[in-house]
Chains A and B, each alone.
Chain A
Amino acid sequence: MESKETTNTTKIKVRHFPLDENPPHHYANWQKGIKSWLTTKDHKRIGIMYLATITLVFLFAGTMAILIRLSLWNPANHIVAAKTYNILFTLHGTMMIFLFLVPGVPTTLGNFFIPMMIGAKDVAFPRLNLASYYIYLTGAIFTVWAIIHGGVDTGWTFYTPYSIQSTTHVLPMTIGIFIIGFSSILTGLNFIVTLHKLRAPGMSWGKLPLFCWGIYATSIIQVLATPVLAITLSLLIMERVLHVGIFNPALGGDPILYQHFFWFYSHPAVYIMIVPGFGIISELIGTFSKKRVFGYWFIAISSLAISFLGFLVWGHHMFVSGQSALASTVFSLITFLIGIPTGIKIFNWLATMYKGSIWLTTPMLYALSFIFLFTIGGITGIMLGALSVDVQLHATYYVVAHFHYVMFGGMLIAFIGGLHYWWPKMTGKMYSETMGKISWFFIFVGFNVTFFPQFILGAKGMPRRYYNYLPQFETLHRTSTVGSWILATGFLIMAGYLIYSLAKGEKAPSNPWGARTLEWMTASPPIHSNFNYIPVVTHEPYDFHRPVSEFQLGLVGSEENGHDGGNGATSPDGGTPVVADESQS
Chain B
Amino acid sequence: MAQANVATEREAFVQHHFVNAEQQFDTAKLGMWIFLVTEILFFGGLFCSYVVFRTWYPHTFMEASSHLDKLLGGADTVDLICSSVTMALAIHYIQKGNERMTMIMLGITFLFGAAFIGSHAYEWLDEMSHGIYPGKAYAFKGISGSHAYVFFSLYYLMTGLHGIHVLIGMGLMAWLMVKTKRGRFSAKYYTPIEITGLYWHFVDLIWIFLLPLLYLVD
Contacts and interface: CB of A to CB of B under 8 A. Distances in A.
Chain A–chain B contact at Cβ < 8 A: yes
B44 A228 contact: yes
A557 B17 contact: no
B1 A575 contact: yes
Nearest to A188: B34
B135 to A, nearest CB: 4
Contact of B41 (A192, A227, A254, A575): A227
Contact of B135 (A189, A196, A243, A561): A243
A242 B1 contact: no
Contacts of A563: 16-19
Given A197-B23, A223-B38, A228 B45 contact: yes
A251 B39 contact: no
A368 B5 CA distance: 45
Contacts of A124: 27, 31
A260 B45 CA distance: 10
A242 B5 contact: no
Interface string B31-75: 100110111111111101100110000000000000000000000
A568 B35 CA distance: 29
A565 interface: yes
Given A235-B157, A242-B134, A574 B7 contact: no
Contacts of B153: 238, 242, 244-246
15 contacts: A10-B1, A190-B31, A198-B17, A223-B38, A231-B45, A235-B49, A238-B135, A243-B137, A251-B136, A253-B150, A257-B52, A260-B48, A555-B5, A567-B6, A568-B3
Given A227-B41, A251-B136, A193 B49 contact: no
Given A227-B38, A566-B14, A568-B4, A244 B157 contact: yes
Interface in A546-585: 555-558, 561, 563-575, 577
A246 B23 contact: no
Interface in B5-22: 5-10, 14-20, 22
Most chain A CB within 10 A, of B1, B14, B19, is at B19
Interface residues of A, number: 64
Most chain A CB within 10 A, of B39, B136, B137, is at B136
A242 B136 contact: yes
A120 B45 contact: no
A251 B6 CA distance: 70
B92 interface: no
Contacts of B7: 557, 565-567
A574 B37 contact: no
B19 A126 contact: no
B49 A228 contact: no
Contact of A122 (B2, B17, B150): B17
A193 B34 contact: yes
A322 interface: no
A416 interface: no
Interface in B174-194: none
A234 B2 CA distance: 51
A122 B37 CA distance: 24
Given A197-B27, A245-B149, A12 B5 contact: yes
A231 B135 contact: no
B30 A231 contact: no
B144 interface: no
Nearest to B160: A238
Nearest to A222: B38
Contact of A244 (B4, B19, B135): B135
A485 to B, nearest CB: 43
A531 to B, nearest CB: 12
Contacts of A234: 45, 161
A437 to B, nearest CB: 39
Which 6 A-B residue pairs are closest in the complex by CB-CB distance? A568-B2, A231-B45, A243-B136, A569-B4, A227-B42, A244-B153
Given A569-B2, A571-B20, 17 more contacts: A122-B16, A125-B31, A197-B23, A223-B34, A224-B38, A226-B38, A227-B40, A231-B42, A243-B135, A243-B137, A244-B157, A246-B53, A557-B7, A561-B16, A566-B9, A568-B4, A572-B23
Most chain B CB within 10 A, of A13, A122, A197, is at A197
Contacts, number: 171
Given A228-B45, A232-B45, A571 B19 contact: yes
A228 B17 contact: no
A11 interface: yes
Nearest to B136: A243
A227 B48 CA distance: 13
B218 interface: no
A230 interface: yes
Interface in B132-182: 134-137, 146-147, 149-150, 153-154, 157, 161
Contact of B34 (A189, A231, A251): A189
B126 interface: no
A230 B41 CA distance: 9
Nearest to B3: A568
Most chain A CB within 10 A, of B22, B27, B45, B147, is at B45
Given A193-B31, A197-B26, A224 B41 contact: yes
A60 B159 CA distance: 40
A242 B149 CA distance: 12
A261 interface: yes
Interface in A117-167: 120-126, 128
Contacts of A566: 7-10, 14, 19-20
B38 A556 contact: no
A555 B18 CA distance: 15
B136 A252 contact: no
B38 A185 contact: yes
A190 B34 CA distance: 9
B151 to A, nearest CB: 10
A447 to B, nearest CB: 35
Contact of B22 (A120, A243, A561, A573): A573
A557 B5 contact: yes
A126 B14 CA distance: 13
Contact of B4 (A125, A198, A253, A567): A567
Contact of B52 (A13, A121, A254): A254
A365 B48 CA distance: 46
A225 B46 CA distance: 14
A265 to B, nearest CB: 9
Contacts of B5: 12-13, 555-558, 565, 567, 569
A564 B39 CA distance: 35
A193 B39 CA distance: 17
Nearest to A529: B16
Most chain B CB within 10 A, of A231, A234, A238, is at A231
Contacts of B17: 115, 120-123, 126, 198, 563
Nearest to A252: B147
B19 to A, nearest CB: 5
A242 B135 contact: yes
